[in-house]
Structure 1
Amino acid sequence: MAPPTVVFFPFWGAGHLMSMLDAGKRLLARSGGALSLTVLVMQPPTENDRSEVAGHIRREEASGPGIRFHHLPAVEPPTDCVGVEEFISLFVELHADHVKAAISALTCPVAAVVLDLFGTTLLDVCRELDVPAYVYFTANAASYALMLRLPALHEEVTVDFEDMESMVYLPGLPPVPPTSFPLPVMDKKNPNYTWFVYHCRRFMEADGVIINTASVLEQSVLAAIADGRCTHGVPAPTVYPVGPVLSLTMSSPAEQPHECVRWLDLQPPASVVLLCFGSGGFSTATQAHEIAHGLERSGHRFLWVLRGPPVAGTQQPLDANFGELLPEGFLERTKEKGLVWPRKAPQKEILAHAAVGGFVTHGGWNSILESLWYGVPMVPWPLYAEQHFNAFTLVAYMGPAVAMEVDRKRNNFVDASELERAVKALMDSDSDDGRKAREKATDMKAACRKAVEEGGSSYYALGRLYEDIRKGAVRMSQ
């Protein structure tokens, strides 16, 4: 008889899809073959996303057996959506009948369903099928604590969070300035806010929540969640901190090293600051000029992954046109100390390089985890989603980072002088802030690696998750 399967239902964004797949592969390995993995794949609404997802799946299928991919029928995307959270939530909801049919048609027992954090509408399908349902939370435990607390805050705070003058108190965290809240939460009149609160409420219905973090990184927050302090004493679903969940596959030794890596090979140890802003980050000419001036005046070596604005009506950044984006003469003046790369770059391979001593990052949680895994201190430059909240927790709570003033009201603009100050604070050998960030990053590198090793906290949490899923599989077979 085929082993019971765990059904994963991810959002197609790379930061969600790949993290869930990597978590699923870890669960498979931990089960010792007692479980299989079935991934339900939505057809993304754009050709670019469809191509990217297809590429990820081809690579996973080529890497070995163990995962079955089931492609769901296409649905007509919702229209007239105000923003990303509303669009994704409605798009997922439209797949409910297809998900139900796919799960019902499986010929092996279904031990559990693991939903993306934007997929809580499908908890109803899981209940109809009497299958245990878990949520995979791709952000950190602090963000999850905020989301658990948000339904009560919605009632307690009568104004928009962006209009609050006082701090917000979240159990396990320092006082939070409301200007650090995730973008969809700032305006209560926005449909994205309504969907955010909806998902926050429905997390409480899950059988458990799997979080891509390690307990050592966020001990006080995880303790507050477990104690019910984020939910007014009502027990929250069991949390499984199984991270860092990272895909650490590098180029094979037979391949020619990437040009960025070859350039880093020529630089002194810990001398280069990396600037990279994720798959959706880009710079306008005005902002790129500020970055260029700030880097040049800082005097530090740099590797800057520069992307240009997307075509109108799309979200995919374009390869940078240096003539349009950079100040005249900048490349010539900095050629001995800097490399500007105009396309996507292998961020993990760059962060792993001994020459990299700091990271100016958009602060996506996956990028933060990669930086911690390699012990690289950061300067957060948040752009969208929950990244402002990540920036707050990085600096004020976790510690492996130096703060930088980002003007949220000017589309997250940073002046050249502020970038210069932050880079110097991070990279100068006599900087007290930089020293503290480097020490904390080094400590967290060791802690992250220990957590996922046999006997570590995340290894234990993954084993606990497997045992709880296995019990569900036994129940389903009876």
Structure 2
Amino acid sequence: MATPTIVLVPVWGIGHFVPMLEAGKRMLARSPHPLTITVLVMPEPAEAKRASEIAEHIRQEEASGLAAIRFLHLPAVDPPTDHSGIEEFISRYVQRYAPHVRSAIAGLTCPVAGVVVDIFCTTLFDAAAHELGVPAYLYLITSAAMCALLLRSPSLDAEVPVEVEFEEDVDVPGLPPVPASCLPTGLENRKIPTYKWFVYNGRRYTEARGVILNTVAELEPRVLDAIADGRCTPGTRAPPVYTIGPVIPFTPSSSDGEKAHECVRWLDTQPRCSVVFLCFGGQGSFAAPQAHEIAHGLERSGHRFLWVLRGKPEPGTKLPRDGNLAELLPVGFLEKTKGRGMVWPSRAPQKEILAHAAVGGFVTHAGWNSVLESLWHGVPMVPWPLGAEQHYNAFTLVAAMGVAVPLEVDRKRGNSVEAAELERAVKALMDDGGEHAGKVRERAVEMKDACRKAVEEGGSSNLALQRLCEAMLDGAVLPGKQ
């Protein structure tokens, strides 16, 4: 009998594509029986730079010689023109790929153990499970808390009258009451079409044979219990949840024969746990007024810092450009902070920086990938959310996990932060002897230990991967032959 395959259907964003591929590799490594991975690659509709990142990543994977992974490139389709926002755009675009996905899966000559789709791809459940009879799984690159909220969204929508906005705390089982201001972009406003997209997908998630989460069971036990008990899906079956994180694509540090990144070399000259690192993800950027507030806050804090400062995207593009420090920073700032601060205007090796002994805190946009990287290295955080689910992540990091110092972010004014508020948060995070800082730092170290143990032999994530692979292998079928 031919070796069964798991079909991965990621979207093209590098933050979605790479973690799903890494999850596939872990399934290969932990499966009790031979498996292969088949990745269906959808061309990106625009932003060729990010698409080229995916193409380069695929080339590297194919050159690695790992024969158990193969990539099938789907033909391009026309992008939709009618949509309310990025979430609905991606969902509608993916839906146009359903015939190609169906054909690709139906053309496989080996048993399919499961089709794993991204958070944006629930419309493909029809092609996989309903038309071909292949078990469909959902892969969320988010926290268990976000999974709980998405599963909860249909019942939450039904409980609140349509004409009433979310203005008070929202009940998400397993979490403290969630302020409405911390709901993810799209779920915080019931009047916009994107809100309906979230509710629709939350309803469809219950159709999945299982939900694969990029988290660690020990990080979010109460939320995971709430999902398993059905408290997030009243009246509806709760899908099994497999916590396999932290799924972080680990890249080797610079070898002796390579020159270390300039940021890392600078960190080598700094005392242990003395530097606060500021970095805001692949799309985080600031205009001069906000950059000035950050600069003043850092200067007044008196602490050492490494700040990745990107400039706003060029007109007609979405990706940040290298920061022009002469335009973005206050006059004299670099001279005043020389020796204790470094401002880096381009992309930086975030994982390598977080791993450095000199880094004692992380001001982050609170994207989940960055959160996991920080927890893996035991670095406490100050979350400065900029969009998507980041405000919700920031709430859970502070109120549920206790690994972060809160920061007052004005969401109604473009997620702005005043200099005095940043100064306060940095001091609260970095000052030695502070009771709150000590508790946050201690909790971050506990989470580091939990993350490391989870992926070891017998750890919670390791065992979850084994259960997942066993469940998939038990349900393997020839497409359309059920």
TM-score of the superposed pair, with normalisation by structure 2: 0.97
Structure 1 pair 257–370 and aligned structure 2 pair: CA distance change class (3 A): same
Q: Shift of residue 313 of structure 1?
A: 2.2
Structure 2 counterpart of 1:213, from 212, 215, 220: 215
Question: Conserved in 2, the CA contact under 8 Å of 1:227 and 1:235?
Answer: no
Q: Shift of residue 81 of structure 1?
A: 2.7
Which letter maps to 1:21?
L
What is the alpha-carbon distance in structure 1 between the residues aligned to residue 365 and residue 373 of structure 2?
Answer: 13
What is the alpha-carbon distance in structure 1 between the residues aligned to residue 170 and residue 196 of structure 2?
Answer: 20
Structure 1 counterpart of 2:137, from 127, 134, 139: 134
Structure 1 counterpart of 2:445, from 430, 434, 442: 442
Structure 2 counterpart of 1:201, from 200, 203, 214: 203
What is the alpha-carbon distance in structure 1 between the residues aligned to residue 314 and residue 85 of structure 2?
Answer: 18
Q: Shift of residue 152 of structure 1?
A: 1.1
1:170 alignment counterpart: 172
Question: Conserved in 2, the CA contact under 8 Å of 1:5 and 1:110?
Answer: yes
2:83 alignment counterpart: 81
Q: Shift of residue 234 of structure 1?
A: 2.8
Alignment root-mean-square deviation, CA = 1.4
**Displaced runs of 4+ in structure 1, greater than 2 A?**
158-161, 163-166, 474-478
Superposed CA deviations along residues 415-466 of structure 1, whole A, max 9, x for unmatched, are 0000000000000002222111100000000000001111011111100001
1:54 alignment counterpart: 55
Q: Shift of residue 381 of structure 1?
A: 0.2
Structure 1: runs of 5+ lacking an equivalent: none
The DSSP-based 3-state class of the residue aligned with 2:476 is helix
Structure 1 pair 99–212 and aligned structure 2 pair: CA distance change class (3 A): same
Structure 1 pair 53–475 and aligned structure 2 pair: CA distance change class (3 A): closer
Superposed CA deviations along residues 15-73 of structure 1, whole A, max 9, x for unmatched, are 11111011000001112561100000000012122211101111222233121011100
Structure 2 counterpart of 1:144, from 121, 124, 147: 147
Structure 1 residue 348 corresponds to structure 2 residue 325: no
Superposed CA deviations along residues 52-100 of structure 1, whole A, max 9, x for unmatched, are 1101111222233121011100111112433110111011001000101
Structure 1 residue 304 corresponds to structure 2 residue 307: yes
1:330 alignment counterpart: 333
The DSSP-based 3-state class of the residue aligned with 1:473 is coil
Over the matched positions of the two proteins, sequence identity in percent amounts to: 64
Aligned length: 477
Superposed CA deviations along residues 193-227 of structure 1, whole A, max 9, x for unmatched, are 12111111100111000000111000000000000
The DSSP-based 3-state class of the residue aligned with 2:475 is helix
Question: Conserved in 2, the CA contact under 8 Å of 1:273 and 1:359?
Answer: yes
1:84-95 alignment, distance < 5 Å: 84-95=86-97
Structure 1 residue 157 corresponds to structure 2 residue 168: no
Question: Conserved in 2, the CA contact under 8 Å of 1:7 and 1:39?
Answer: yes
2:260 alignment counterpart: 257
Which letter maps to 1:419?
L
1:9 alignment counterpart: 9
Superposed CA deviations along residues 234-256 of structure 1, whole A, max 9, x for unmatched, are 32111001111111112341321
Question: Conserved in 1, the CA contact under 8 Å of 2:111 and 2:478?
Answer: no
Structure 1 residue 29 corresponds to structure 2 residue 29: yes
Q: Shift of residue 116 of structure 1?
A: 0.3
Greater RCO (CA < 8 Å, at least 6 residues apart): 2
The DSSP-based 3-state class of the residue aligned with 1:185 is coil
Structure 1 pair 324–159 and aligned structure 2 pair: CA distance change class (3 A): farther
Which letter maps to 2:184?
P
1:454 alignment counterpart: 457
Question: Conserved in 1, the CA contact under 8 Å of 2:293 and 2:418?
Answer: yes
TM-score of the superposed pair, with normalisation by structure 1: 0.97
Question: Conserved in 2, the CA contact under 8 Å of 1:227 and 1:233?
Answer: no
1:401 alignment counterpart: 404
What is the alpha-carbon distance in structure 1 between the residues aligned to residue 61 and residue 275 of structure 2?
Answer: 33
Which letter maps to 1:204?
T
The DSSP-based 3-state class of the residue aligned with 1:114 is strand
Structure 2: runs of 5+ lacking an equivalent: none
2:38 alignment counterpart: 38
Question: Conserved in 1, the CA contact under 8 Å of 2:206 and 2:236?
Answer: no
1:354-433 alignment, distance < 5 Å: 354-433=357-436
